[in-house]
Structure 1
Amino acid sequence: MLWKDEVGITGSAASYKALDDGVALRVRIHQRLLDMLNLSALDKASRESLRVEIRAPVGQLLAEEKRLLTPVQTDQLIEDVLDELLGLGPLEPLLQDDTVSDILINTHATVYVERRGRLEKTDVHFHDTRHLIRIINKIVSAVGRRVDESQPMVDARLPDGSRVNAIIPPLAVDGPLVSIRKFAAVPIHMARLIELNSISSEMAEVMQAIVKARRNVLISGGTGSGKTTLLNALSAFIDGAERIVTIEDSAELQLQQPHVGRLETRPPNLEDRGEVTQRDLLRNALRMRPDRIIVGEVRAGEAFDMLQAMNTGHDGSMTTVHANTPRDALSRIEQMIGMAGLELSPRSIRQQIASAINVVVQVERLEDGNRKLVSISEIVGMEEEVISMQEIFRFRRQGLGKDGLVKGEYETTGVRPRFMDVLAARGMELPSITFAPARRQF
């Protein structure tokens, strides 16, 4: 923010006034520069050349504002104005901060961030609601989406893949609300997840074998539990020679293979036409000769098409679903198939699920902010009207430590998974001791 060394204690009336004056000055200069600059050439100009070009006009505008700034303050003002011109204004410092994983904007006056699993309030804010809505429009228009009174909710993404959700009045009563889930510039690989104790090395070894053996995987978890992060990490085990098609509402997967086709849904236009859903994209993907299909998240009737793909030669496909337990995940899939408008009996739907999905992985965001893979379960078929499932690994909680961190250990259940025969047939042997009843303390 502008001139932090002059602000004083964050949260006081004086500090807020100083911050507000700085934002107001930056917005006024930004608006006046837009009238002076050649907007058609703005996108082609580099930040460095634009910095040189606007220095003199900024000095002139400061003189008209009767504001006397030091050279350091002037340089900071120019950087903030460049953020307004080329970036996302007050959000730019937070987007560049690698310690920030989530940015939560509660109206123009309040911005929170998540660092290391903990929420904290920042001194960042916008000049007014119009300023915030202008930034929102800048984000959504870049990916061909819109947000207005007729469509006040929108999902979008930033160029780096970070996920953005915005909701504006009249649905947001006090003012616009924006959530930004930042993605690392370099995807988190399995080795890093092991280092963070999000998964044990034995579980990672088994998951690698599952992916390479082309078992179909369903990743289940709550909001912010790390489903997409795990999906990215697992995708690194896919052979680079395979053709992968990804389908998402908002493209955010960061697959590293050379042969990836990325598909993204499209909302309806102003005439309420032209919508392309995940179901439409899934049907089209089947004609694209994919070896594997990865759906970012199933939410409705596309769950049926995903199961059909898994059952018709696209082994090794993966998707995620919002659910609190592996059993809940299967129930949600069953409910989603009902949304497809198909006249299928519950038993028939469950048979489809049992034959399509091989492994259910449960991830969880614990109260200390850490994300963990808490369960790996295998679907083994049907027992009368119920899908039969056996847990292979689990995370056993043992309470909270004095530092507020969740204590626990990973353990095997002692069950030898049936997919071991499939792994062996594909040349992947896992030591039998991997599944012996034993515990791993960390």
Structure 2
Amino acid sequence: MSLLKRIEQGQGSSSEKKESGGGQQGAETPSRLGSLQARRANAPNTTPQSGTYYDLKTRVQNKLLAEIDPSTDISQTDEVRGSIQDLFEQILAEENIVLSRPERHRLFEQITAEILGLGPLEPLLQDDSLTEIMVNGAKNIYIERKGKLHRVPVTFESDDHVMRIIDRIVAPLGRRIDETSPYVDARLPDGSRVNAVVPPISLVGPILTIRKFSKNPITMEQLVQFGSITPEALQFMKACVEARLNIVISGGTGSGKTTLLNIMSAFIPADERILTIENAAEVQLRQEHVVTLESRPANIEGRGEITIQQLVVNSLRMRPDRIIVGEIRDEAALDMLQAMNTGHDGSMTTAHSNSPRDTLSRLETMTLMAGMDLPVRAIREQISSAIDLVCHQERMRDGSRRVTYITEVSGMEGDVITTTDIFAFEQTGMEEGKLIGRLRPTGLRPKFMDKIEASGIRLPPSIFGIGERKRY
């Protein structure tokens, strides 16, 4: 994206935003971008004599924008920063603006963040220790670090400033947010997941929630080191993926479902064709043969919507070996179950729930949402036939994420789906605010062990807590 387009998306004036209802149709981006001259003519008015920091920042920023070559490629970050630095020093000298070294550095970094990044959020995005950034209006910003929430002394200038940053995020993706479509899912260039909600739905101003994408994705070794899962359970999950079992990863919001899905997907052989389907692309696969599909909301005329359900149906015509759906949350559950039951073994998805049993209940409810008027027993038979394993993860009281259940879906007894816990988390206490416990085998062997062994995989009995002398 050229610097001109980036500036016009992120630096539009308050009057422009009000005329457009706070957001634009992303697909119309080229036509709605005016010339650089028009952008400068509509720049926010400032009062140089006021002497406030905001006026100084705006005045220097506008003059800097007027001096920058609009054809500059902002993807060359180091070169652009160098150019901005030179022009910045020149403008301060021409206007006889005297600042201390810390003030000069602060002003330069804030202006650069406005031009190249997401303004006040840029330092937070660069902090690898943060997992979530939550903007509750212009003046209230919170972060999550190690599972705990903290308020940070970072603010936007106004709600309009927040709206400009939100529009900068969603517009390049062909999405929009305004009064007629007041919420949107999106992603940053690095893959971080973004959700935005604006008035009139939000009563506290524009809301922005960013689930950060780790620059160095968590590895399976780190997952074991953090205590999220044991080496034995991870070895079992690896065998299940390689043996092409259908797996649902469940848990609450922020429990680490997508992280676990990413790690488990690394066990998929490199010679298979994988299709990923998501609302906002978030799954990170390292295999070479991966096709990524992303749903799309309706445009301003209410047309052009592409749902997860439609993508799942279409994916069956794309010769997938495995289908990975980022999250099942509606009637797409029926199509996912159908795909799992029609030869696409080894598929994976995530779902929000409180326990493995609740996961199956939610799948049943979501399937009923499809409106196919199916008998409940038929739906349950579909679920028990399609899903082999539920891996449930929770965010604990101390902020840690732990796999708490690995549960086999073993079949039907009458009208009830039967399950068997293969691993279950056992808490033994608290120590210095940290939860002490371990994911332990229950001593039961899953019924699908024959399928694992047919794939040439041999698991030692000790994985299931069975004594070495016992045979299975």
Name 1:233's counterpart in structure 2. 263
How does 1:36-435 map onto structure 2 within 5 Å? 36-39=67-70, 41-44=71-74, 46-55=76-85, 57-59=87-89, 61-62=91-92, 67-401=97-431, 403-435=432-464
- Any unmatched runs of 5+ in structure 2? 1-50, 468-472
Mapped contact 1:166–1:176 kept (Cα < 8 A): yes
TM-aligned CA deviation for residue 408 of structure 1: 1.7
> Residue type matched to 1:138 in 2?
R
Mapped contact 1:23–1:126 kept (Cα < 8 A): no
Please give the alpha-carbon distance, in whole angstroms, between the structure 1 residues aligned to 2:134 and 2:366.
29
TM-aligned CA deviation for residue 296 of structure 1: 0.1
CA 1:109–1:328: 2 relative to 1, 3 Å: same
TM-aligned CA deviation for residue 73 of structure 1: 3.4
TM-aligned CA deviation for residue 94 of structure 1: 0.9
Mapped contact 2:74–2:80 kept (Cα < 8 A): no
Please give the alpha-carbon distance, in whole angstroms, between the structure 2 residues aligned to 1:311 and 1:153.
34
TM-aligned CA deviation for residue 52 of structure 1: 3.9
CA 1:419–1:94: 2 relative to 1, 3 Å: same
Please give the alpha-carbon distance, in whole angstroms, between the structure 2 residues aligned to 1:397 and 1:64.
66
TM-aligned CA deviation for residue 25 of structure 1: 3.8
TM-aligned CA deviation for residue 49 of structure 1: 3.3
TM-score by length of 1: 0.90
CA 1:153–1:66: 2 relative to 1, 3 Å: farther
Please give the alpha-carbon distance, in whole angstroms, between the structure 1 residues aligned to 2:345 and 2:209.
35
Name 2:7's counterpart in structure 1. none
> Residue type matched to 1:406 in 2?
L
C-alpha deviations, 1:263-294, integer Å up to 9, x for none? 00011111110000001111111111000000
Calculate the aligned-residue CA RMSD, in Å.
1.9
CA 1:300–1:45: 2 relative to 1, 3 Å: closer
Deviating more after overlay: 43-52 vs 421-430: 43-52
CA 1:437–1:93: 2 relative to 1, 3 Å: same
TM-score by length of 2: 0.85
Please give the alpha-carbon distance, in whole angstroms, between the structure 1 residues aligned to 2:188 and 2:427.
36
Mapped contact 1:24–1:127 kept (Cα < 8 A): no
Please give the alpha-carbon distance, in whole angstroms, between the structure 2 residues aligned to 1:28 and 1:174.
29
Name 1:9's counterpart in structure 2. none
Please give the alpha-carbon distance, in whole angstroms, between the structure 1 residues aligned to 2:441 and 2:266.
24
Deviating more after overlay: 77-86 vs 339-348: 77-86
Aligned residues: 417
TM-aligned CA deviation for residue 125 of structure 1: 1.1
TM-aligned CA deviation for residue 64 of structure 1: 7.9
C-alpha deviations, 1:95-153, integer Å up to 9, x for none? 11111111111111121111111211111111111111100100111221111111110
Please give the alpha-carbon distance, in whole angstroms, between the structure 1 residues aligned to 2:428 and 2:75.
57
CA 1:304–1:70: 2 relative to 1, 3 Å: same
Please give the alpha-carbon distance, in whole angstroms, between the structure 2 residues aligned to 1:431 and 1:49.
56
What is the SS of the residue equivalent to 2:450?
helix
Mapped contact 1:108–1:176 kept (Cα < 8 A): yes
C-alpha deviations, 1:213-257, integer Å up to 9, x for none? 000000110000000000000000000000000000000111100
TM-aligned CA deviation for residue 21 of structure 1: 5.7
Please give the alpha-carbon distance, in whole angstroms, between the structure 1 residues aligned to 2:197 and 2:285.
29
Mapped contact 2:227–2:438 kept (Cα < 8 A): no
Please give the alpha-carbon distance, in whole angstroms, between the structure 1 residues aligned to 2:369 and 2:96.
63
Please give the alpha-carbon distance, in whole angstroms, between the structure 1 residues aligned to 2:113 and 2:205.
23
Mapped contact 1:189–1:236 kept (Cα < 8 A): no
Mapped contact 1:51–1:78 kept (Cα < 8 A): no
Please give the alpha-carbon distance, in whole angstroms, between the structure 2 residues aligned to 1:64 and 1:108.
33
What is the SS of the residue equivalent to 1:352?
helix
Name 1:13's counterpart in structure 2. none
CA 1:217–1:45: 2 relative to 1, 3 Å: closer
TM-aligned CA deviation for residue 332 of structure 1: 0.5
Please give the alpha-carbon distance, in whole angstroms, between the structure 2 residues aligned to 1:188 and 1:414.
29
Name 1:15's counterpart in structure 2. none
CA 1:437–1:30: 2 relative to 1, 3 Å: farther
Please give the alpha-carbon distance, in whole angstroms, between the structure 2 residues aligned to 1:21 and 1:242.
60
Please give the alpha-carbon distance, in whole angstroms, between the structure 2 residues aligned to 1:23 and 1:232.
43
Percentage of pairs with the same residue = 50
TM-aligned CA deviation for residue 381 of structure 1: 0.7
CA 1:385–1:28: 2 relative to 1, 3 Å: farther
